[in-house]
Amino acid sequence: MSRNVILNIGDTIKYSGECTGIIEKIRIISTGNYIEQYEYNGNGEDIVLTLRNDHGITNLWLKDTSISKIF
């Protein structure tokens, strides 16, 4: 990923090709803490997003994942 993306609770993102989801939670794996905002630079090995999508709830580990915000 060539640029940083600011992720916030409530943002809609696209990931894994054409999958989309709304961010419900952003969790730091190492501490277990939840945060409201995260600056993603392509290396999110310590971050998990909880997303609501067409299939229900999905937990997405950001390690080496290409994502983009949908405005």
Domain positions in the chain: 5-70
Residue type (1 letter), 46: D
- Of the candidates 46, 51, 41, the residue with the CA atom closest to the CA atom of residue 19: 51
Tens of pLDDT along the chain (71 residues) come to 447 889 999 999 999 888 999 999 999 999 999 999 999 988 778 999 999 999 899 999 998 888 899 98
The position carrying tokens 């419900």 is 24
Instruction: State the pTM of this model.
Output: 0.88
- Cβ(28)–Cβ(5) under 8 Å? no
Angle at 63 between CA 58 and CA 65, to 5 degrees: 70
Token pair in block for residue 38:
């995260």
